[in-house]
């Protein structure tokens, strides 16, 4: 029993020495320390075992001598209560307390390091590395007081009750995207922070006002697509929607303004990540100009001074796409994919700045 306890103390002492670490370590560093501590614990246990064996043999020899000296039961009891014996007991208790203290402090240290490792975004020096500032726009107005603020721009109500309001969905996506970007040390703001439907002119005006102050700006506009029979068709009118009977168009498109601009670089990074995250989903690309983004003369794309991309994630007029759009997991996957693309674009800008 003593040998086992000795081994455990030895292992604990060695492991504790490896774990007596500073704060601010990353989770990888903590894992490396834990592995190292586990490895060091084995020789520690062996040493602890040997020390216990040695001490026990010493103790036994002393005990035999003491037994020889002991003549009566009274004397044995007297020895038990002797000051030496009390000292020995006290020493034992102190040693146990000492190891318990080391054990507790080691556990606390690991807990603290884990906490510190999880709040890396609070490091100011990292945030300053953002070479870009991202403005995110939700495609359309959302819902106020139970009233959808945008005309049209919604899915039909499918047989199982599924229904999407584009502005409502994209407002939530915009919030999620800004958070995810910030968690990844990218400066990001949402330009459509209230639910009202602001005009394209206002969107462009807001964006350009920020750009005039901060040329790192880039803009991401979030939408869901739709495929009505005619441009004037009301989205609520199921008969006027391709997808209602025929399945219709599906998939995702990323638009930039015509011509080769910085927007194309950003679009390429984002398209790459979205296709990787949704291998089953159709990426609707245009390869005629040498890249995969689609080019369009949309007001938001041509009138903004900063690099701008417009993402049409899924078709509201396609049932399967609607199921994807309302699914919490796929929304998370989408937001993470766009963020990865932006992070890689940020790194490319950083490398260009270093080279320049
Ligand atoms: Zn839209």
Helix then strand count (H, E) for the chain reads 12, 8
312 lies in the same domain as 334: yes
Distance 139 CA to ligand 1 centre (A): 5
Distance 346 CA to ligand 1 centre (A): 26
Distance 69 CA to ligand 1 centre (A): 99
- For helices 2-19 and 27-69, the axis angle rounded to 10 degrees is 150
107 lies in the same domain as 163: no
273 lies in the same domain as 178: yes
Domain boundary (82, 100, 118) is at 118
Tell me how far apart the alpha carbons of residues 307 and 216 are, in angstroms, rounded to a whole number.
9
At 228, list the tokens.
Answer: 């009505």
* Residue listed under structure tokens 């507790």: 104
Distance 310 CA to ligand 1 centre (A): 9
In which element (H, E) is residue 323 found?
helix 319-326
Domain boundary (95, 118, 141) is at 118
Distance 222 CA to ligand 1 centre (A): 7
80 lies in the same domain as 208: no
Distance 246 CA to ligand 1 centre (A): 22
Distance 33 CA to ligand 1 centre (A): 50
Distance 224 CA to ligand 1 centre (A): 6
Q: Identify whether the C-beta of residue 170 lies closer than 8 Å to the C-beta of residue 139.
A: yes
Please enumerate in sequence order all residues whose Cβ is within 8 A of that of 168, keeping only pairs 6 or more positions apart, or say none. Answer: 142, 143, 148
Residue 344, domain extent:
124-355
Q: Identify whether the C-beta of residue 326 lies closer than 8 Å to the C-beta of residue 164.
A: yes
72 lies in the same domain as 194: no
317 lies in the same domain as 207: yes
Distance 38 CA to ligand 1 centre (A): 56
158 lies in the same domain as 263: yes
For the chain, the domain total comes to: 2
Q: End-to-end CA distance of the chain, in Å?
A: 69
Nearest of 11, 1, 18 to residue 46 by alpha carbon = 11
232 lies in the same domain as 263: yes
The per-residue b/e assignment along 109-145, b for 16 or more CB within 10 angstroms, e otherwise, is bbeebeebbeeeeeeeeeeeebbbbbbbbbbbbbeee
75 lies in the same domain as 213: no
34 alpha-carbon distance from chain centroid: 23
Q: Identify whether the C-beta of residue 318 lies closer than 8 Å to the C-beta of residue 247.
A: yes
CATH number for the domain that contains residue 214: 3.40.630.40
Tens digits of pLDDT across the chain (356 residues): 767 777 777 777 776 666 655 455 666 777 777 787 778 788 888 888 888 888 887 887 777 777 776 666 777 677 777 888 888 888 889 999 999 999 998 988 888 877 766 665 555 555 557 899 999 999 899 999 999 998 888 988 888 889 999 999 999 999 999 999 998 889 999 998 788 888 889 999 999 999 999 999 999 999 999 887 766 666 666 766 666 766 788 999 999 988 888 899 999 999 999 999 999 998 888 877 778 888 888 888 889 999 999 999 999 989 999 999 999 999 999 999 999 999 999 999 988 888 88
At 16, list the tokens.
Answer: 């504790």
106 lies in the same domain as 153: no
- Confidence at residue 19, expressed as pLDDT on a 0 to 100 scale: 64
Instruction: List the beta bridge partners of residue 165.
Output: 154
279 lies in the same domain as 170: yes
338 lies in the same domain as 294: yes
Domain boundary (118, 151, 177) is at 118
Instruction: List the beta bridge partners of residue 252.
Output: 283, 313
């Amino acid at each position: 029993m003593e040998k086992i306890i000795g081994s455990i103390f030895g292992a604990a002492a060695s492991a504790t020495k490896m774990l007596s670490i500073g704060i601010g370590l990353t989770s990888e560093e903590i894992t490396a320390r834990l592995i190292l501590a586990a490895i060091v614990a084995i020789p520690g246990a062996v040493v602890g075992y040997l020390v216990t064996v040695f001490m026990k043999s010493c103790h036994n020899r002393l005990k035999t001598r003491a037994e020889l000296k002991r003549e009566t039961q009274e004397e044995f009891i007297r020895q038990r209560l002797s000051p030496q014996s009390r000292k020995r007991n006290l020493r034992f208790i102190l040693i146990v307390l000492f190891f318990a203290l080391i054990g507790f402090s080691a556990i606390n240290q690991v807990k603290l390091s884990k906490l510190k490792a999880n709040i890396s975004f609070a490091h100011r020096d990292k945030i300053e590395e953002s070479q870009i500032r991202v403005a995110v726009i939700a495609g359309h107005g959302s819902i106020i007081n139970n009233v959808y603020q945008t005309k049209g721009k919604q899915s039909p109500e499918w047989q199982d009750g599924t229904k999407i309001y584009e502005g409502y969905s994209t407002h939530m996506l915009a919030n999620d995207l800004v958070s995810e970007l910030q968690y990844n040390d990218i400066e990001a703001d949402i330009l459509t922070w209230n639910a009202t439907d602001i005009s394209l002119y206002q969107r462009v005006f807001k964006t350009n006002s920020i750009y005039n102050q901060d040329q790192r700006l880039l803009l991401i506009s979030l939408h869901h697509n739709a495929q009505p029979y005619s441009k004037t068709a009301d989205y609520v009118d199921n008969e006027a929607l391709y997808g209602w009977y025929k399945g219709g168009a599906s998939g995702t498109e990323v638009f930039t303004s015509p011509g080769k601009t910085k927007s194309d670089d950003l679009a390429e990074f984002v398209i790459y990540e979205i296709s990787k995250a949704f291998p089953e989903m159709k990426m609707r690309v245009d390869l005629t100009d040498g890249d995969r983004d689609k080019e369009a003369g949309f007001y938001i794309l041509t009138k903004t001074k900063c690099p701008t991309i417009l993402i049409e994630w899924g078709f509201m007029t396609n049932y399967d796409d609607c199921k994807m759009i309302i699914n919490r997991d796929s929304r998370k996957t989408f937001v993470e994919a766009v963020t990865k693309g932006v992070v890689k674009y940020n790194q490319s800008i950083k490398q260009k700045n270093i080279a320049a």
